[in-house]
Structure 1
Amino acid sequence: MYKRILVPTDFSKNALNAVRYALDLYAKLNCEFYFLNVFKLENYTTDTLIIPEPGSAEFEVAKAKSEENFVKLLDMLALHHDNPKHIYHTIPTFTFLSAAIKKTISNKDIDLVVMGTKGASGAKGVIFGSNTVKTMEIVSECPVLAVPKEVRFTSPKEIVFPTDFKSVFKRRELRYLIEIAKMHEATVRVLHISKKPFLKPEQEENKQLLRDILDEVAHSFHTLTEKDVADGITAFVESRDSDMIAFINHRHFFFEKIFTKPLVKEIGYDATVPILALH
């Protein structure tokens, strides 16, 4: 059974870094990688009433450039990432990125999306580009892994899982976290950040459920009494030199606080570990 992984790319260094990270993270598994490029037409904007059609000169030139970049990417992977367990597919398309991602997830039965955190524009001081944040928000069919551009792959040995214990955990939600932990013999550090040192009865029940679910991997529980969730996560990860952060993207969870615009101020300018958004 092949795992199907979607990697959107704009052929930037950051996108290439995400490709490499995904290949190394899943080096031991049989995988089909789908590389998706949404190509742009120089003279086309959303204000233009006439949408370029396949067959038009401008459309075909842009598509040919995308395909040419794919050839270069596959040549590079053949040279540096020749893994008999991996099969590569390329998808050049002209549409909105979010629509292309959703369509590919549906058509190819994708298990995981892996993205770089910044696009080719690479705006200074912005850790998670708007495309990455939007993808984490709109994709509910599978997990999304965001890889900061400075991260070089090392086998993850410690994965931080922040939670407020307010939601009932389900095994299927945590399947990919457990899979990665098993593959790399990583320990899951469950982190609870709260101003109060005690849990309510329902939180205690959810904590016990989580303990049962994580029974098949090494894990431990930690509590920080921090005012700010993002500061607490950052301090914990940096002090322990952790390798990844995983969280369940519940709508009411702290996703909005951390992974939208204020992220730059809250996490700082040096996101150093990949973020796995589970659903």
Structure 2
Amino acid sequence: MKRILFPTDFSETANNAFVHALELAKVLKGELIILHTFELPVVDSQYFPQNYMEIYESLELSQFDMFKDEIPKLREIAEGRNLGDIKLSHRLMDGDLVYNIRKAVVEDKIDFVVMGTSGTSGWESFFLGSNTGNALSDCTVPMLCVGSDVPFKKVQTIGFTTRFREKDKSALKNVLKIAHKMKAQVRCLYVKTAVSDVLDGTIRDWETEFGQEPVTFSVVFSEEVKESMMDFILQKDIDILTMLTYKRGFFDSLFHSSMTKKVATEFPIPILAIPIE
């Protein structure tokens, strides 16, 4: 059974991502581990010699009470989608979010992480350094990141950008495993520029190796890599875009400023980030 970690602050953005997490658990026959983290303020005990421990205890208790109140709401969401049979377990952790995600991934033997990110600014922060972005760079398992305005819909087509490297091949094999469970197709894109070093023979080798899989390969000759990817998302009706985290510098520019707004508003789709060693 696959184990899916769902970090949440119980916001609307997180609740929207929770639906995606539930549906992923359904497809993978998995379970969800719901993680809520909080950071206690640094209090100098020399100024609060008598009651600083009471401050901490009070704050911890308030977080626990909120956690206890919010969990039934998540169960209602699950039951409302006829997914009440998905196993849910819970973790309340004090400390840094990214550190706790990394810790939970190891301790709970997590296979996937699902996280929400907010609107246009959320897409920017996802790639350029917020909680989700930091978690992305540190995470050792695939992470599905869902914008606040991205409703769940059945995944039929998964986009996969590649430069036909051996590392890309192992990632594609993992994506195909997911695609089989979703009964989805995978569409691979390679944007070939004037300085591209990928040989035609390498592309043919990939086509032969994956000939029996539900995957197609598109090679686009263009110097406009970003625009070509946007066209690909639209023309191929991509439902989830896969990115490999070792290419993060490329995505930093791809989703910056006006391009970020274009993706977030015109192509509201989840991002599946897969770590590459």
1:90 is matched with 90
* Higher Cα Rg, which structure: 2
User: With structure 1 as the length reference, what TM-score do the two structures score?
Assistant: 0.81
One-letter code of the match for 2:108?
K
What is the percentage of aligned positions where both structures have the same residue? 24
Deviation sequence 1:190-217 (CA, Å, 0-9, x none): 101122397544x743x35543564453
**Contact persistence 2:124–2:260 (CA under 8 A):** no
Deviation sequence 1:208-246 (CA, Å, 0-9, x none): 554356445311111223334332212210233211111
Which of 252, 256, 266 is the matching residue for 1:263? 256
1:58 is matched with 59
**Contact persistence 1:7–1:36 (CA under 8 A):** yes
Quick check: 1:217 aligned with 2:209? no
**Contact persistence 2:22–2:78 (CA under 8 A):** no
Aligned CA distance change for structure 1 residues 204 and 245 (closer, same or farther; 3 Å): farther
What is the rounded CA distance, in whole Å, between the counterparts of 2:240 and 2:149 in structure 1?
Answer: 14
Unpaired segments ≥5 residues, structure 2: 46-51
Q: For 1:171-210, what aligned pairs fall within 5 Å after superposition?
A: 172-196=170-194, 200-201=198-199, 204-205=201-202, 207-208=203-204, 210=206
What is the rounded CA distance, in whole Å, between the counterparts of 2:258 and 2:54 in structure 1?
Answer: 42
Question: How big is the shift at 1:160?
Answer: 1.1
**Contact persistence 2:194–2:223 (CA under 8 A):** no
What is the rounded CA distance, in whole Å, between the counterparts of 1:265 and 1:12 in structure 2?
Answer: 26
What is the rounded CA distance, in whole Å, between the counterparts of 1:173 and 1:258 in structure 2?
Answer: 17
What is the rounded CA distance, in whole Å, between the counterparts of 1:57 and 1:26 in structure 2?
Answer: 35
Unpaired segments ≥5 residues, structure 1: none
**Contact persistence 2:185–2:215 (CA under 8 A):** yes
Q: For 1:117-266, what aligned pairs fall within 5 Å after superposition?
A: 117-118=117-118, 125-129=121-125, 130-139=130-139, 141-165=140-164, 167-169=165-167, 172-196=170-194, 200-201=198-199, 204-205=201-202, 207-208=203-204, 210-211=206-207, 214-250=210-246, 253=247, 255-259=248-252, 263-266=256-259
Which secondary structure state, in structure 2, belongs to the residue aligned with residue 26 of structure 1?
helix
Deviation sequence 1:21-78 (CA, Å, 0-9, x none): 121233243212011111355xx26xx5569789622222222222322233224323
**Contact persistence 1:133–1:260 (CA under 8 A):** no
**Contact persistence 1:6–1:114 (CA under 8 A):** yes
What is the rounded CA distance, in whole Å, between the counterparts of 2:38 and 2:23 in structure 1?
Answer: 26
What is the rounded CA distance, in whole Å, between the counterparts of 1:237 and 1:111 in structure 2?
Answer: 26
Aligned CA distance change for structure 1 residues 208 and 35 (closer, same or farther; 3 Å): farther
What is the rounded CA distance, in whole Å, between the counterparts of 2:54 and 2:190 in structure 1?
Answer: 52
**Contact persistence 1:25–1:155 (CA under 8 A):** no
What is the rounded CA distance, in whole Å, between the counterparts of 2:56 and 2:91 in structure 1?
Answer: 17
Question: How big is the shift at 1:156?
Answer: 1.3
**Contact persistence 1:112–1:145 (CA under 8 A):** yes
One-letter code of the match for 1:17?
N
Question: How big is the shift at 1:179?
Answer: 2.2
Which secondary structure state, in structure 2, belongs to the residue aligned with residue 127 of structure 1?
helix
One-letter code of the match for 2:175?
L
**Contact persistence 1:27–1:83 (CA under 8 A):** no
1:72 is matched with 73
**Contact persistence 1:8–1:114 (CA under 8 A):** yes
User: With structure 2 as the length reference, what TM-score do the two structures score?
Assistant: 0.82
Report which of the two has the higher share of helix. Answer: 2
What is the rounded CA distance, in whole Å, between the counterparts of 1:260 and 1:92 in structure 2?
Answer: 35
Question: How big is the shift at 1:157?
Answer: 1.3
**Contact persistence 1:230–1:267 (CA under 8 A):** no
Deviation sequence 1:111-142 (CA, Å, 0-9, x none): 00111122xxx6x6442531121111111x21
Quick check: 1:20 aligned with 2:38? no
Which secondary structure state, in structure 2, belongs to the residue aligned with residue 152 of structure 1?
coil
Q: CA RMSD in A?
A: 2.9
Which secondary structure state, in structure 2, belongs to the residue aligned with residue 173 of structure 1?
helix
